[in-house]
Amino acid sequence: MTEAKIKSYPDEELQFRCQVVNANGKTIVTPIKGLDPTKIHQSVSLSQKVECVNELYSGLTKKKISDQLTGVDSSLTYTLNGVQRRFRKPKEELQLCFLEYKEEGLPTSKEIEFMTDQAYVYSDITPIPMLSHFKERITNVTTRNGKKQYSPNDKRFVRIQEYFLEAIETIEQLNNKPIMGYIPDYRYYFEELVKLYIDKGVNTFYFDAHLSNPITLQGSLRAFMRELNKVGALEESFIHMLNPGYGRGIKDSSIIPAKDILGFGLGIDSLGERHMRRIFNRQVLENMRKNPDNRSRLFNKNSYGYLKTSDKEKISDFYPNDSGIDMQYFLTAQKPDAKIQNAFNVEQLSLEGISLRDKVKDAESVLNYLNEKPDVREDDIKILKRAKIKDKK
């Protein structure tokens, strides 16, 4: 069983859509937000209205896998069980276990078996394990003027395809769940990837944004959607975005326009968590520490911006009354724990996803709704309009 059961209700003007996704006896409705409980502070409680896709993540090295296989180490199972126990609605919400192979080479058959078995046990839809440094794996890499340049290498990509096929075949040996295809941001091979997955009956995917925001990735997302549309699979596919960025701040402004939530208007059905760490150089980190407004970035669903401030009055003015998280966390003299900030943003993004879903279901104009958001730029609206793909007849 590689397919999930999906009913899709597209918006007439934009690429937003509402989907009913059934897998492993559970049902979710999109747009929906991903939630990783390890990134949520245990002292806070989210609004009971929040609906999410639950995520588990672990990076694995050869040694880690070997130690697990030989019984030297059992920490992975212990960790994943601990994460699973923290899910809010485990009997209702989908869970996805993302494993990343953090080596330069490709995994062996035994390593593939181990990773896919773990992903299967902890998922309602089994994601194919991702590969670190994907671009370097399928390209010739040259350096010019100190910058890396990438050119496609078909022979390397063939080996990657073989890995994907082996992972699918390994899962299928004893399988009663859908399989989720891994889509790295490398559009040169989207056509081949889509064909591989569709031929194997896969209709759920996760797109690794690699910390870029969906608006920045508009070209890649459109290319991927176009390939799905070519084979008549677009409206029967569920797409989860992993590692999304939320956009860059504007100089001398306390507002960061929220580019992540706009991913729903580019065909993304589920907006996942960030499992990559952004690496800053020493000078940038020092500047951030000295910045008096190096405070929480809080999503405002009324404006579609992230409020970046330590001003108590500004926070009090915008703070939503539907949040289950005490506002006092953000009014103290010290910056709150990053997991408290993330809890607030996950909650508010989830609630906004539900609002968008309801508008699509009720055939209300999402375009008019977004035009009323002060922090949605005119250029972003144009991008969302261009993203609309007509159904294949």
Tokens 């399928």, residue located: 138
3-state class of 294 per DSSP? coil
Mean pLDDT of the 214-241 span: 96
At 126 the pLDDT is 98
User: Is residue 283 over pLDDT 80?
Assistant: no
Domain boundaries, the chain: 5-387
pLDDT at 78 exceeding the cut of 90: yes
333: Cβ contacts below 8 Å, ≥ 6 apart: none
- Could you tell me what percent of the chain has a pLDDT over 90? 82
| Rounded Cα–Cα distance for residues 325 and 286 (Å) | 30
What was the pLDDT predicted at 293?
A: 56
Model confidence over 162-182: pLDDT tens digits? 999 999 999 999 999 999 999
393 — pLDDT class (breaks 50, 70, 90): very low
5-387, what's its fold? TIM Barrel (3.20.20)
What does the DSSP 8-state code read for residue 93? S
Window from 37-41, 222-226, 245-249, 292-296 with minimum mean pLDDT = 292-296
Lowest-confidence region among 6-10, 262-266, 330-334:
330-334
Average pLDDT, the chain: 92
**Taking the model in full, what pTM does it have?**
0.94
Torsion sign across C-alpha atoms 210, 214, 217, 221: positive
Q: Output the pLDDT for position 187.
A: 95
Q: What is the mean pLDDT of residues 66-76?
A: 95
pLDDT for residue 286 is more than 90: no
Q: Quick check: 282 pLDDT over 70?
A: no
In the numeric block, the tokens 């992993």 are attached to 242
Q: Residue 331 to residues 191, 274, 295, 307: CA-CA distances in angstroms?
A: 50, 26, 10, 13
Distance CA 126, CA 370 (A): 34
> By CB neighbour count within 10 A (0-12 exposed, 13-18 middle, 19+ buried), where does 329 fall?
middle
* DSSP bridge partners of 306: 256, 299
